Amino acid sequence: MTTTATKPAHPPGARPRAAITARTLRTDRWWLAPLLTVVGLTAWVGYAVFRTFMHQWYWVEDYHYLTPFYSPCITDRCIPEAAHFGTYLPGWWLIPEAAFSLPFPLLFRLTCYYYRKAYYRSYWLSPPACAVPDGHSRYTGETRFPLIFQNAHRYAFYAAFVISIINTYDAILAMHSPSGFGFGLGNVVLWGNVTLLWAYTISCHSCRHIIGGRLKHFSKHPIRYRAWTVVSRLNARHMELAWTTLATLAVTDFYIMAVAAGWISDLRIVG
Ligand code: FES
């Protein structure tokens, strides 16, 4: 005779789970946050793709404004003055002007701990909210292909750090006018964007670990401790910074497009 060992449904002594047929007992608008996330992220990605393949209105010659969506500009299609680091790729329609840099911020955000939570909940419904069941019957976490690559986030952070330096360089070069030094509303927009991009980048969880992780005694590393406290304060605002920088990137790009296209004039303060 053979016996089959069956796993008890509940730990010994535990009370069985209530037989609830409802999918969730939540009566609040738990679906609103995932819905807004889908709308916000889809709109942003749509705009970014549209602008990336527009191939025009990314550079303002008089003031040297270069939109972050086209920086660094490295295809043969680039306006020579906007190609600060030279051109290396053919100017085919399918190749974005910033083909070198765009994948890295994208990877940085795609693997970001906050965005992971946001899109797992909203696009994959896994789960859509607390106390609401997963939209899928199986859950394998991030232990298998392709999601195991989410663990590469630390390396994406290093790349995003370099891209932030390039964005800062662009903002410095944009302090320009036809007569030399210049400053206008476009510079305010560019510097506001760069400052917030830095805040988002260094508020990253990986950055916090790189700065203050693996230390046994903070007292023996006062400089790292000070840096860690600053990063930790920003880290508490990581979600807000994630959304704010999406907005500032789009606003910066749109402003430069509008000036480059001649729809508006830049408001000049100096030069
Ligand atoms: S950028 Fe969000 S956790 Fe690193």
Which range has the worst mean pLDDT, 9-13, 78-82, 191-195, 266-270? 9-13
- DSSP 8-state symbol, 137: S
Q: In angstroms, what CA-CA distances link 165 with 70, 111, 207, 208, 264?
A: 15, 20, 15, 19, 29
- DSSP 8-state symbol, 89: B
Is residue 20 very low, low, confident or very high in pLDDT (cuts 50, 70, 90)?
Answer: confident
Residue 5 has pLDDT above 70, yes or no: no
Residue 24 has pLDDT above 80, yes or no: yes
Residue 8 has pLDDT above 60, yes or no: no
Distance 253 CA to ligand 1 centre (A): 23
The residue to mutate among 201, 206, 235, 245, having the most atoms of ligand 1 within 8 angstroms of its beta carbon, is: 206
Distance 239 CA to ligand 1 centre (A): 9
Alpha helices in 143-183, H assignment, sequence order: 153-173
Per residue in 208-264, pLDDT (tens digit) is 999 999 898 999 999 999 999 999 999 999 999 999 999 999 999 999 999 999 999
Angle of helix 222-235 relative to helix 185-202, nearest 10 degrees, comes to 110
Q: What percent of the chain has pLDDT over 70?
A: 96
Distance 184 CA to ligand 1 centre (A): 32
Q: Which atom of ligand 1 is nearest to the CA of 109?
A: 1
Give the three-state DSSP class for 62.
coil
Q: Which residues pair with 184 in a beta bridge?
A: 268
Residue 61 has pLDDT above 50, yes or no: yes
Distance 78 CA to ligand 1 centre (A): 31
Residue 6 has pLDDT above 50, yes or no: no
Distance 162 CA to ligand 1 centre (A): 15
- Rounded to the nearest integer, the mean pLDDT of the chain is 93
Q: Are the C-beta atoms of 105 and 248 separated by less than 8 Å?
A: no
How much is the pTM? Answer: 0.90
The residue to mutate among 203, 210, 232, 240, having the most atoms of ligand 1 within 8 angstroms of its beta carbon, is: 203
Residue 9 has pLDDT above 60, yes or no: no
Q: Which atom of ligand 1 is nearest to the CA of 200?
A: 1
- pLDDT on residue 135: 87
Per residue in 156-211, pLDDT (tens digit) is 999 999 999 999 999 999 999 999 999 999 999 999 999 999 999 999 999 999 99
Per residue in 123-158, pLDDT (tens digit) is 999 999 999 988 888 888 888 888 999 999 999 999
How far apart CA 103 and CA 55 sit, in angstroms, is 17
Strand locations in 98-232, DSSP E?
Answer: 183-184
Nearest CA, atom 4, ligand 1: 204
Distance 94 CA to ligand 1 centre (A): 29
Q: Are the C-beta atoms of 67 and 256 separated by less than 8 Å?
A: yes
Residue 109 has pLDDT above 80, yes or no: yes
Per residue in 27-38, pLDDT (tens digit) is 999 999 999 999
Nearest CA, atom 2, ligand 1: 112
Q: Are the C-beta atoms of 71 and 105 separated by less than 8 Å?
A: no
For residue 228, with 0-12 CB atoms within 10 Å meaning exposed, 13-18 middle and 19 or more buried, which class applies?
buried
The residue to mutate among 106, 110, 111, having the most atoms of ligand 1 within 8 angstroms of its beta carbon, is: 111
Q: Which residues pair with 59 in a beta bridge?
A: 66
Ligand 1 binding site (Cβ under 6 Å of any ligand atom): 108, 112-114, 153, 157, 204-206, 238
How far apart CA 190 and CA 172 sit, in angstroms, is 9
